[in-house]
Amino acid sequence: MDRASAPGEGSRTVVAAAGLTKRFGNLVAVDGVDLTVPAGRIVGLLGPNGSGKTTLIRLLLGLLRADVGRAEVLGRRVPDWSLLAAVGYMPQSDGIYLELTVGENLRFFGDLYGGLPKGRIDEVLDLVELADRRKSLVGDLSGGMRRRLSLACALLHRPSLLVLDEPTVGVDPALRATFWHHFRDLAATGTTILVSSHVLDEADRCDELVFMRAGRVIAHGTGSELRAAAGTSDLEAAFLRFAGLGADGRPEGGPTVEGSPGPPAGRGDGGRP
C-alpha cells in the first residue's frame, strides 16, 4: 500500500521552522526555535521535562499558534488542515477514546483519515501486539496498552511524517525494541519521524538529535557529531556541556567558541549533518 502523500512530498525538507516562539503568560515555552527536518530521517527531540518539546511539536503541527516565527510542514505553512492525511501524531497524553473499544478507536481514526484499505487495522493491531484486545474498552486497558493503541492510531494511514511525543514511556523493553525496529523500517521507506524523549537512552536510535533546554535548541547534529563537539562519548555529559552545565548540573559557563559563551560546535539551525 502506498503511503499517504501530500503536496510538497519529495522535497528534501519535511519540517522547516524559523524563529518559532510561544509564550504562556511570562513563560517563554519555545524561544526562537529554528529547525529543519530532512525527509526520511529519524530526528530525536531531547530535553528534560519542561524544556518545550511538546509545545514545539504542537506549534509544528499547527495545534498551537506561534507568537513569533513560522513553520512549514511538507511545504505548507501551518496550520493547514490538508496536512491531516499526511501526518501521524501520537500525543504525549493519549488522544484516544476511553469509552470506545480498541477496534472502534482505530475505525474512528481511519474514517477521519478518509478510510483505510482492507486489513490495515489488523496489520497495525499486530504491530502493537493488541490483536487480542480489539474488542476491549480502552478504559479497561493498562497505560502501556493505551500508548500502543495511540501509536497504532498515528500509524494507521501510513503518514509521510510521523510525530511521536514520548512514544515509549510505559512501554516494556521488548515492545520498545519492536517499535524502534518498525520506526527504522518506516524511515527506510521514506517516512520522516520526529520523536521526543526526556531520556537519552534511546537517542542513538535516531539519525539526528536536537537537544532542547528552556525552550531553545542548544544543539543539533548526529550523535557522533554532538559527542565530538562536546568532547565526550557520553551523551548525558554532552547535553550538560551544551547546556553550559557542569557534571553536577550546575552552571559552569559552558565551552567558549570564538569568545562567545555557548555550545562548542552544535548547531541551533537544524542544518543537515
Residue ranges that bind Mg ion, judged by CB under 5 A: 53-54, 92
Stretch that binds ligand ADP, among 46-54, 127-135, 172-180, 236-244 (CB under 6 A): 46-54
25: CB partners within 8 A, 6+ apart: none
Residue 168 touches which of ligand ADP, Mg ion, none (CB < 5 to 8 A by kind)? none
Stretch that binds ligand ADP, among 48-56, 152-160, 178-186, 248-256 (CB under 6 A): 48-56
- 44 part of the interface to ligand ADP, by CB under 6 A: no
Residue 123 CA to residue 10 CA, distance in Å, equals 26
- Quick note: the x/- pattern for ligand ADP over 15-34, rule CB under 6 A, is ---------x--x-x-----
Q: How far is the CB of 130 from ligand ADP (least distance, A)?
A: 26
Q: How far is the CB of 236 from ligand ADP (least distance, A)?
A: 17
Contact 193, 42 (CB under 8 A): yes
For 58, 90, 98, 233, the CA distances from 199, given in Å and listed in that order, are: 20, 18, 28, 16
- 49 part of the interface to ligand ADP, by CB under 6 A: yes
- Across the chain, where does the E strand assignment appear? 13-24, 27-38, 42-46, 68-73, 76-77, 87-90, 161-165, 192-197, 208-213, 216-221, 256-257, 260-261
Q: How far is the CB of 53 from Mg ion (least distance, A)?
A: 5
Q: How far is the CB of 31 from ligand ADP (least distance, A)?
A: 10
- 168 part of the interface to ligand ADP, by CB under 6 A: no
Contact 235, 227 (CB under 8 A): yes
- 47 part of the interface to ligand ADP, by CB under 6 A: yes
| Euclidean distance between the first and the last CA atom of the chain, given in angstroms as a whole number | 31
- 50 part of the interface to ligand ADP, by CB under 6 A: yes
Residue 79 touches which of Mg ion, ligand ADP, none (CB < 5 to 8 A by kind)? none
Residue 228 CA to residue 230 CA, distance in Å, equals 5
Residue 47 touches which of Mg ion, ligand ADP, none (CB < 5 to 8 A by kind)? ligand ADP
Contact 243, 213 (CB under 8 A): yes
* Bond into 79 cis (ω within 30): yes
**Contacts of ligand ADP in 52-71 (CB under 6 A):** 52-55
52: CB partners within 8 A, 6+ apart: 22, 29, 30, 31, 33, 212, 214, 215, 216
Q: How far is the CB of 213 from ligand ADP (least distance, A)?
A: 9
Residue 266 touches which of ligand ADP, Mg ion, none (CB < 5 to 8 A by kind)? none
Where do contacts with ligand ADP occur on this chain (CB under 6 A)? 24, 27, 29, 47, 49-55
